[in-house]
Every structure is written in structure tokens, then in C-alpha cells.
Amino acid sequence: MLQHLQHIESKEAPTLVLLHGYGSNMQDLFGLKPYLPPMNLVCFQAPKDIGMGGFAWYDINWDNGNKIIDDVEVTSVADLVVESIINWTQEHELVGPIICGGFSQGAILSMAILRSGFNATGYVLMSGYMLPEWRNDHWKVDVPVLQTHGTMDHVIPFDWAKSGADLLQSDLFSFKSYPMAHNLNAECISDVQQFLEQF
């Protein structure tokens, strides 16, 4: 099982799985706990140690200034995360709904988990985007999904996020933008909090 930080509210409470971004670690998004509704929380740590206390879920290669991400590697890591989610929930005998989410790399990975058909009850995609290889897929959004992004994001451009979000049209899908860079501002965190309260 992947390394993780956890908080157990109760066996029946909803469980939020959070996946950090590139160069961060499991402690990063655990800091959101005071802003979340009462729920179980597990923050997994990516397997690739890139030094200075930072970790990555998958490699990012650079070619002529463009980010190159291997979608096969992302899919493989998504399977590893799903396996860890299943093992962790079984270990703690949790029976409540599971919500998957993450920031940046973690959001892309969460989207891969959504794409895989994992039976999560909801998804929170913060400052991520749909990989080009996934755009011709038939996406089935039959659980609540919230995607958030900053209009001034220079790491993952807003247009990348919005163009992918346009392919996920569903009454259960919502895309919200904020005047922020590659981070989470107070309004975004508040929207995430309200989204999670429905579970």
C-alpha cells in the first residue's frame, strides 16, 4: 500500500481520498482537513521520490517547452492508487461513500481513476486537465464531479482545463474558475467544502 496520512471519523462516514501534486507530498493536502466537513481523510504519497521532500506520481518530460505525459504510465499509477484505496478502506472496515480528488498531477490521476470506471461516489479535480489521449474517449459522468481551475494558472493553462471540461457535459459535472494561479484560494476551498457536504 502507498504511504499515507489518515484521519478516521467513523466507519460510516464518507471517505475523501486526496492525491498531491508534482514535487509535493502526503502532508500537503492533509492541511485542508480543517476546512472539510466531518469525514474520513486519507492522503496518499506518490511513489517517485524526486528529492527535497518531494514526490511525483509519474514522469513529466519536456519537449520544445511542451509537457509530455505518458498516459499509459498515468493509467498504471491510477490502478496502483485504486488498489491502495481498496486495501485501506478494507483494513479500516469503512463502509461509507468514497470521493476521489487531487491537485494538479493528483487531479489528472483522479481523472484517470474516473476514466477507469472505479465506483467512487464523487470526484474533486483541482487544477488538473484531461490528457489529449483521453479526449476521444466516451466519458460517463454518473456521479457528482467538481473541477476547479485558476484563470491565471501558468503551470497548467486554463484553456487546457476548460477544453477538457467541455467534453464532460453532465448534470452532475460542474466546472468553476477563479482569479488565481496554480494554487487554491479561499473561494475555491469554500466551493470544495460545499461540494463535499452533499455526501
pTM of the model: 0.96
pLDDT for the residue numbered 140 = 86
* Statement: residue 64 has pLDDT above 70: no
CATH classification (class only), 4-196: alpha beta
The residues, any chain, with a CB within 8 Å of residue 14's CB and separated by 6 or more, are 37, 39, 40, 96, 97, 98, 99, 121, 196, 199
Q: What is the pLDDT of residues 137-189, one digit of tens each?
A: 989 899 999 999 999 999 999 999 999 999 998 999 999 999 999 999 999 99
Task: List the domain boundaries for the chain.
Answer: 4-196
pLDDT of 197 = 97
Can you give the C-alpha Rg of the chain in angstroms? 16
- Residue 66: is its pLDDT beyond 90? no
Q: Are strands 122-126 and 98-103 parallel, antiparallel or unpaired?
A: parallel
d(CA 196, CA 12): 15
